[in-house]
Structures are given as C-alpha cells and as structure tokens.
A and B are shown apart, each in its own frame.
Chain A
Amino acid sequence: MGKDKKNKVLMSGNEAIAEGALQAGCLFYAGYPITPQNELIGYMSVHMFEKNGVFIQAESEIAAINMVYGASAAGVRAMTSSSSPGISLKQEGISYIAGAELPAVIVNIMRAGPGLGNIWPAQSDYFQATRGGGNGEYRCIVLAPASVQESFDLMSTSFGLADKYRIPVIVLGDGMLGQMMEPVQLPVASCQLPGKTKKPWALTGCKGREQNIVKSFYMREGDLEKFNLKLQGKYAQIMKNEQEYEEVDTKDAMIILVAYGSMARIAKSAVKFLSGKGIKAGLIRPITLWPFPVKAFQPRNRNICYLAVEMSYGQMVEDVKLAVCGKAKVAFLGRSGGGIPTEEEIINKAKTLSPKA
C-alpha cells in the first residue's frame, strides 16, 4: 500500500470512517440521522453513488440495520452507523446478523445517556457493545479508534474481520472523535478490493447450485445448541487471534493507565507528564475492546497499579480486573454525562496510586 503526501487530507472522524468504508469496498450503506454522527451519513449520501454502491436513508434505525442484514445476505459489504440511542434500536437486527452469521459493520459514535441523554461524547455503551447488546448469547468484534487516521484505517480491518469470521463488527467511537478534524493520509490504492472474499453462502439465486438459506431459526431439538457451540468455537478463535492494543512505556512502569478511544489521548498526555515528574507511568490502549487484549496484562511486578480511565462510571475497568485476575491493584477514574476526565484529574489520581519507591 503506497503512501503519497498528496493524498493527505483534512477530515472529521465521521468523514474518515465513511471514506475508509468506501475504500474498503463497502457497497451498501443504510442509516438514519442522529447527532453526533451526521457527517457520516451525509458523506455516504454523496460518495456512495460514485462507487456505484447503494445508499438508503432508512425510515428508522430498525429498518436501516435490517437493510444491512439484507444487503449482507445478498453478498455485498454493508454497513450502518448511528449514535447511542439509535444503536439501542439496532440491537434486534445485530442479534439476527450474529445469529445468521452475516458479516456487517456497525459504527457507534457514542453520546451520553441514558435515554435521550445529550450529544456530548461518552463511552457509556461499552457493556452494550462488548457483551452482545441484543438477545441471545453472541459477540461482536469491537474496534475503538483513537484518531481520525485510525478511524479511516480500522474500516478496512473491520470489513476484513467481518468477512473472515462472518460476524458483526462494531466500530466504537465517541462524539469527540467523530467531530474532530485531523489530517488523514489516504492510501494511493484501495487497501482491499471489494468482492475478494468468496461468499458461497450468499443469496444470489440458486443457479447451478443447491438452495441457500440465511436464517437464525433452529426449531428441532438439539439443533440450536449445536449451532451455539459452533458460534462459541468461532468466538474462542477470535479471542485467541485478534487481540489488538497499543502500549506506551509499560516496560518499567509502576502505574499503567488503561484507556481507549479519545480518552486514551488524554491519558497519553498524562503519562508524558508523570514520566517528566519521575513517576514511572505507562499506557495500555486497547484497540479491540472485544476481544479484550488480555495478553497486554501479562504478569508484571505485583506492586504495580493499573488505572482504568473512562468516559463512563466504570465499564472497561471490569475487563481490566478480569484480565489482571487479582494479581495487581486496579483503580478507576471516570466521568460521564458529557464530562471528560481531564489530564490534571488523571495526574492527581495517578499520584495517589504511585507506590512510594
């Protein structure tokens, strides 16, 4: 994949996600307006046609996700996007997509909740994204970009993973990431050509083959249990193979911040400040929220402390505790409802946790 300075453009996170999807061969988008992701649907409404793809402004979030189900069943790369309350409406469809083993990409540019909440950035949909969200036991792969560039880059990854595992992939950003503008280096050639993945299961008309059925209904005794075990096997493979994270100065750190998305950028500044003050601090930034990057928490010095920092009242911190498994101290700092932990708050909290060496 060649890089060219000429291909450096200034974009918002929402636009970068849309452009990333188009360059990854997404040929179907359905969505419904909701703040703070409107630039995404707006970008798609203009540029999808240039790719000869299909754009539909759906009558509801529910219709949009079911359109994605249909397009994916017909074998094309399909996505939808929304923000928190809209993602709640999509949960039925996401469950059906998981149950029918269809690839799909769902973008959630999170806003604060519960209910209508407000349009300020938040990370309070972590549980909903990483635990399934809809009915039944299923998982979505969840990717969390922390910059506009990464928002672009992870779209190709998302569609690749969705096709590889026939699974819904959620891209979990927040209103700050969706709205901020940063330079993005676009690849000279598309990263992944559309239609590369063979989809013999897709609905194309049964010419020259047996009937294909896309379904999640298993009525006969034992059939659903067998199918669910197959899903669990797939999830085990994903947990083994697909953990992604970034580490900053963790090697000798005595305090390790854990943060994802926009929050990780503030945490990174705090790490830099703390290191300047002689406090050995580091950062783990999960890029995959599910599978959670458990391997980033390999046994370390028992005296170290992890500090999970979130724009929520404590959701990812539960995965940190599960990963650490009681072998180190885990602390938490979080705000939600539009409040964002500041660099100063993180530094002050970290100072209280830093072991007096």
Chain B
Amino acid sequence: MDKIYAHPKSLRDLPTHYCPGCGHGIAHRIIAEVVDELGIREKIIAVAPVGCAVIAYDYWDFDCSEAAHGRALAVATAIKRVRRDNIVFTYQGDGDLAAIGTNETIHADNRGENLTVVFINNGVYGMTGGQMAPTSLLSQKTATTVKGRDAQIHGFPLKISEMLALLPGVKYIERTSLHSPQEIIKTKRAVKQAFSNQIEGLGFSLVEILSPCPTYWGMAPRAALDWVRDVVIKEFPLGRIK
C-alpha cells in the first residue's frame, strides 16, 4: 500500500505553544510539506518574525534567522543577495508586515527581490494581548478598540496585498484562507507556487493567508473559522491578486 500521508521531514514532532484553534500550526505544516516536496530543505533559509511565530524555528528543521519587528524583508533581501543559490522566505504577521515593517515590505517588493513571503493575516496582535492590527476589521473589538474599530478614529483595514500588487517588482500575490480543508489545500498550492517562482528566479511572490485567532477574537475555534468564512473574506476577498 502506498504511503500517502506522513509527518514532514522539515517539521519537528513537538507539542505546540500556539493556542487551541490558532492557524499558525497549519501554516507551519504547509510550509514544511512544500519544502519537502520541492526538495529544498538543505537550501532553505527562513526569516522568522517578531510576534507569536517568533520561535517558528523550533518547529521547522532548517536554517532560520530572527529579524527585528518589521525588518524581516530587509534581512531576507540581504541573505538572498549574498546567497543566490539558497531559497529565502519570510514568515510575517499583519503587524510585522503591514504596520511596523510597511517600509521594508514595499521596498523589497518594489526592488523585485527574488523572495517568498508568507503573510499571516489574523487581524490582531496576538503575542502582545490582542490589540488592533492594521488589518483589523471595522467594528472589530480588540484590546485597543474596545468599542470596535472606528474608521474615523482608527482608520481602515489595510489591504496591503492589493497595494503591493500595483508595484512592477512583484511577480505573484494570492490571498488564501485556512477556514476549511478545501481552502487549506488551495493555500498549500499557493505557497508552493510562491516557492516555485523563487526557484525559477521569477521574483517577489507573496501569499496572504487569512488565519483564525480564536483567543483574541473571543471565539471558540470553530466559530473563528466560520467568522473568517462569513465576515473576514468580505473585506479581504480570496483569490489571485496578481
């Protein structure tokens, strides 16, 4: 009988530090499976963010660097420029990529760096206790928008992927979600595309993954998935952006 499902070699078998129902574990595993399938474990260099996923390197069994909050794409730019034969990617949350690191994000994209970005959008700052993220929805209650996000006070949810798609340096941007098995399969396909683009030297590729944060959305894990399906994707529509 053929073995059709196994633990990825690039993922360590460890107890998770993530909260119940968190999307990071699924996203980590998708990356590990893609790295194994493309046979790039010995060539890959990851750049981990500041945020809940800072210790992603405890789960992934390949080379990894931390970066200061928001600076992942500056760090990754340099690693890739001096090691063109390696495959370099950043794994960043919404605060990291779309608030404190917006400058680094836009300019790495605009330079057309041959990099892969996995962007986890869960609309909230998890590690610091559930504060408003640039991607928090209007009327979403967070630790710093207790009455809900109000456009007049807090501005609008930032659609950074659509912004980045305007720049000529970018090759590929797709928004996917983790709210159902079908969407998880589509996410894996997109992540694989983003890594394949780099292997082929095609340029900047980014996958924005809508991911649940039950803890700071104040929801049960199942309800959080339904909220992504019913509410979040109305603001952040799924599909190929570029």
Contacts and interface: CB of A to CB of B under 8 A. Distances in A.
B62 interface: yes
Contacts of A212: 63-64
A190 interface: no
B57 A213 contact: yes
Interface in B3-58: 41-45, 47, 54-55, 57
B104 A63 contact: yes
A63 B43 contact: no
Contacts of A208: 42
A211 B78 contact: no
B71 A203 contact: no
Contacts of B106: 59
Contact of B86 (A30, A54, A204): A204
Contacts, number: 129
B162 to A, nearest CB: 20
A27 B78 CA distance: 11
Contacts of B57: 211, 213, 215
A100 interface: yes
A338 interface: no
Contact of B42 (A56, A71, A76, A206): A206
A67 B78 contact: yes
B31 to A, nearest CB: 14
Contact of A70 (B44, B54, B60, B76): B76
B65 A71 contact: no
A55 to B, nearest CB: 9
A187 B119 CA distance: 49
Interface string A197-227: 0000001111110011111110100000000
B84 to A, nearest CB: 10
A63 B104 CA distance: 7
A217 B66 contact: yes
B63 A63 contact: no
B75 interface: yes
Interface residues on B, range: 20 to 34
Contacts of B62: 205-206, 211
Contacts of B74: 58, 62-64, 66-67, 69-70
A74 B55 CA distance: 19
B77 interface: yes
A71 B64 contact: no
Interface string A165-180: 0000000000000000
A171 B77 CA distance: 25
B103 interface: yes
A93 interface: yes
B202 interface: no
A220 B82 CA distance: 33
A73 B75 contact: yes
B75 A67 contact: yes
Contact of A74 (B41, B43, B83): B83
Contacts of B238: none
A152 interface: no
A157 interface: no
A73 B48 CA distance: 13
A93 B71 contact: yes
A208 B41 CA distance: 11
B136 to A, nearest CB: 25
A28 B82 contact: yes
A311 interface: no
A205 B63 contact: yes
Contact of B79 (A70, A100, A206, A211): A70
Contact of A66 (B81, B86, B104): B104
Interface in A24-64: 27-28, 30, 54, 56, 58-60, 62-64
Contact of B78 (A62, A71, A213): A71
Contact of B77 (A27, A62, A67, A75): A67
A61 B47 CA distance: 20
B68 interface: yes
B82 A76 contact: yes
Contacts of A93: 68, 71
Contact of A215 (B42, B66, B83): B66
B54 A217 contact: yes
Contacts of B78: 28, 30, 54, 56, 66-71, 74, 78
Contacts of A332: none
B54 A203 contact: no
Nearest to A27: B82
Contacts of B42: 205-208
A211 B61 contact: yes
A150 interface: no
Contact of B82 (A60, A71, A205): A71
A21 to B, nearest CB: 15
B229 to A, nearest CB: 34
Contacts of B242: none
B66 A63 contact: no
User: Interface centre among B42, B43, B60, B65, by most A CB within 10 Å?
Assistant: B65
Closest 3 interchain pairs by CB? A70-B78, A70-B75, A66-B74
Given A213-B63, A217-B54, A217-B55, 9 more contacts: A27-B82, A54-B78, A54-B81, A69-B68, A74-B86, A203-B45, A203-B79, A204-B83, A205-B44
